[in-house]
Structure 1
């Protein structure tokens, strides 16, 4: 088991490094690092966990992950069912602000960029309407030299600070709590088990056993580090998976989705789905189909 702290492939002389991953699956551990991370998903899908937040990810998504923000891009089960290189393809840009003198960011011309970087603690998802432009820049960064990479990433940060509106926060409104390496390993085990067994009846005793603490201690521990109960977290994962099945048309009906994602009844599934997404499953399906139809005709 790898430790929580992760060191990106960053040469000593570079403050910006571009890493292109073409692998059977995404890096499979809940981890953090001191560099700000900008990620473009080119191929592959799954669940993103960032701090105490989780959601599905798909090709075309672009994310900013804050300095030392624990995160994992957990590949969908289909990646592991057919483990071949190319299941996951992403470009990760690592920006180490500590390698640039503070006086540089104190310049008047850098004010908007400095303010933007300071706001990224909990991470962001780029709104889809800006993804085409930003994707072109990130693809070009692969072939840029050291200085060109730095200049281009600063211009990109300036664009983010001045032009982009409607960022989606990857935070719940609470600051990320600090995790020791040992706690990071424990949370990694809990997250991994949940993602792999969400469709099963995960009891409190079982998940506490995974964390190697008593059920009572686990409830307090999980709430402390995520600001939510484990049952709420588990339901969010299940609803994320249900939404993926709807989008991929992997269902024969509402009841099928409910039971395949771990719910013991369609009624309970409907209640949790509405609470999580703000709409019923049928309304979600109807809205998704209307969007698909609009895209097809546009």
Structure 2
């Protein structure tokens, strides 16, 4: 089966692509491409799905996404409401060490950078301690042209390669099967449906209909292409949203958050929360508040 890559437009006079987007929401379908992608979120909130894992994102976050890693920046549901006046803003750098830049990456001086990229093919979130430095280089690269843009690219590689903090991969499933264009749209539609209806009762039959499959076929298909069962993915979406609501302090009680996120049983909510997060809802909230107090004290 031929894998249709998402094609990044490459001008004939550039080997590094800088793309600034200001849109109502991010491209909503799961996709992959041969270029390594470095995306700095300047405005907007949502969930990054990369391989088999999910990560919250908000303004100021910076992610490196490895070549051919299936991913989608899924804007929060409110961004899809007509006339919401909400907008996302992001700056992305695309580059392919095996394409036009291959001769440069074959130089001994760039060997550390090439090894770094090979070691992080599953991507990572750039530590906040270096986001300011790296994002400023990205801005300079976007504004530059000709040889000056390539010089900024060298600075960017150096800034990434010099990161000393332990970097956790965005995806832990290894190599997911190739995603065709039609499969990317189908899985994107499945993700969209689940993320828009997670607070409601969702059955296997409901989501299988979205994919135009029988429940049995859907289970096999979803597991093959995401590394998740339907239930595990739905639970992670619900717990992910529960975490956002807990730390936002917009609800009167943990029980209310559980019901708002689609759980009908508090016992089940607590069990699933502990399984996904490794802590109880109360423990998670207390830990977050304590860390916030510590940060405020350190800043004062």
What's the TM-score once normalised by structure 2's chain length?
0.91
Stretches of 4+ aligned residues off by more than 6 angstroms: none
Counterparts of 1:21 and 1:181 in 2: how far apart (Å)?
22
Which moves more between the two structures, 208-217 or 97-106?
Answer: 97-106
Contact 2:28–2:188 (Cα < 8 Å) also in 1? no
1:188 alignment partner, SS class: helix
Distance of aligned partners of 1:184 and 1:273 in 2 relative to their CA distance in 1, 3 Å threshold? same
Matching residue of 1:114: 114
* Residue aligning to 2:205: 205
Counterparts in 2 of 1:101 and 1:28: CA distance versus 1, 3 Å: closer
Residue 54 of structure 1 deviates from its aligned partner by: 1.2
1:132-165 CA-to-partner distances (Å, cap 9, x unmatched) read 2222222222211132222222332233223332
Q: Equivalent residue of 1:142, what SS?
A: helix
Tell me, yes or no, if the aligned pair for 1:15 and 1:100 is still in contact at 8 Å. Answer: yes
| Structure 1 Cα separation of the partners of residues 27 and 186 of structure 2 | 17
1:190-214 CA-to-partner distances (Å, cap 9, x unmatched) read: 1111111111111111111111111
Identify which range, 14-23 or 149-158, moves more after superposition: 149-158
Distance 1:101 1:176 in 2: 26
Kept after mapping to 1: 8 A contact 2:44/2:59: yes
Which structure 2 residues correspond to residues 1-150 of structure 1 after superposition, within 5 A? 5-81=5-81, 83=83, 87-100=87-100, 102-150=102-150
Q: Secondary structure at the match of 2:64?
A: strand
RMSD: 2.0
Q: In 1, are the aligned partners of 2:28 and 2:73 still within 8 Å (CA)?
A: yes
Paired residues in the alignment total: 296
Residue 242 of structure 1: aligned partner:
242
Gaps of 5+ in 1: none
Report what 2:260 is aligned to. 260
Distance 1:20 1:189, change over 3 A: same
Structure-2 separation of matches of 1:86 and 1:18: 23
Alpha-carbon separation, structure 2, partners of 1:173 and 1:45: 25
What is the CA–CA distance in structure 1 between the aligned matches of 2:212 and 2:137, rounded to whole Å? 45
State whether residues 25 and 83 of structure 1, in contact with CA within 8 Å, keep that contact through their aligned partners in structure 2: no
- Aligned residue for 1:91, secondary structure, equals strand
Say if 1:107 and 1:30 are closer, same or farther in 2 by CA, change over 3 A: same
Distance in 2, matches of 1:173 and 1:129, equals 27
Aligned counterpart, 1:162: 162
Change in 2 beyond 3 A, CA 1:37/1:101: closer
Moved more, 92-101 or 222-231: 92-101
When structure 1 is superposed on structure 2, of 6-15 and 82-91 the one drifting more is 82-91
Report if the CA contact (8 A) 1:22-1:86 is conserved: no
Shift of 1:5: 4.3
Q: Matched residue of 1:169: which SS?
A: coil
Distance in 1 between residues matched to 2:144 and 2:283, nearest whole Å: 46
Deviations along 1:13-43, one digit per CA (max 9) or x if unpaired, are 2111211112222222222222211000111
Please state whether the residue corresponding to 1:97 is helix, strand or coil: coil
Provide the rounded CA distance (Å) in 1 between the counterparts of 2:101 and 2:138: 25
Structure 2 Cα separation of the partners of residues 82 and 164 of structure 1: 44
TM-score (norm 1): 0.92
Give the structure 2 partner of residue 192 of structure 1. 192
Once residues 296 and 9 of structure 1 are traced to their aligned partners in structure 2, the CA distance between those partners, rounded to angstroms, is: 44
Distance 2:146 2:177 in 1: 34
